[in-house]
Amino acid sequence: MIDVKSIGSPRARMVHQTIITETLVAMHPEVRMRRGWYILYESTVTDNPYDNYPDIVIFDEHNTLQFSMEITRKWGMSYDKKKCLQLKQRFPWAEFYIYNYETDILYALGEDGQWYNSQDYEICSRLFEHPLLNYIYVPEEY
């Protein structure tokens, strides 16, 4: 018998997957308006299958990372912030965001390396017409 727990990390909770899917669907039309750009979920930032894999990523027509968003709960914030900071060093032109669905707060990594939150600022992306919180969907039953 195969022990599935030893194969890899457990899959995320249904609410986590629902938020990723619905957010991706909401963002998709604006991404597709940019010829050659595409949006993916839980994809690596490069072709290396062992590289970081944010929850939502957007690549331009040259397959260059432009946008990364993590969907998390309070306990995952520290890990996701570290991951975003590491990716920012490799992809300094890209945008990095973390959405905490337990607190309903969106965080943006600023050009200055500081984190800004949606309680104090309206978080916008150069890639989207509306503030980013407008694209994020959290099921009512959560």
More confident residue, 46 or 126: 126
Closest CA to 96 of 12, 48, 86: 86
Residue 122 lies in a domain: yes
The tens digit of pLDDT for each residue in 85-119 reads 999 999 999 999 999 999 999 999 999 999 999 99
Q: Does the residue 84 lie in any domain? A: yes
The answer to whether position 142 is within a domain reads no
Q: What's the CATH code of the domain at 105?
A: 3.90.1570.20
Distance CA 69, CA 88 (A): 12
User: Does 14 fall in a domain?
Assistant: yes
* The 3-state secondary structure of the chain, one letter per residue: CCCHHHCCCCCCCHHHHHHHHHHHHHHHHHHHCCCCCEEEECCCCCCCCCCCCCCEEEECCCCCEEEEEEEECHHHHHHHHHHHHHHHHHCCCCEEEEEECCCCEEEEECCCCCEEECCCCCCCCCCCCCCHHHHCCCCCCC
Domain membership flag for residue 128: yes
The answer to the question of residue 77 being in a domain is yes
Total domain count, the chain: 1
pLDDT confidence of residue 112: 94
Please give the residue range of the domain that contains residue 27. 10-135
Cβ contacts of 116-125, under 8 Å, gap ≥ 24: 123/97, 125/67, 125/95, 125/97
User: Quick check: is 89 in a domain?
Assistant: yes
Query: Per the domain annotation, does 5 fall within a domain?
Result: no
> Residue 12 — pLDDT band, cuts 50, 70, 90?
low
Overall pTM surpassing 0.85 (yes/no): yes
Tens of pLDDT along 27-49?
A: 999 999 999 999 999 998 988 88
Task: Please provide the average confidence, as pLDDT, over all residues in the chain.
Answer: 91
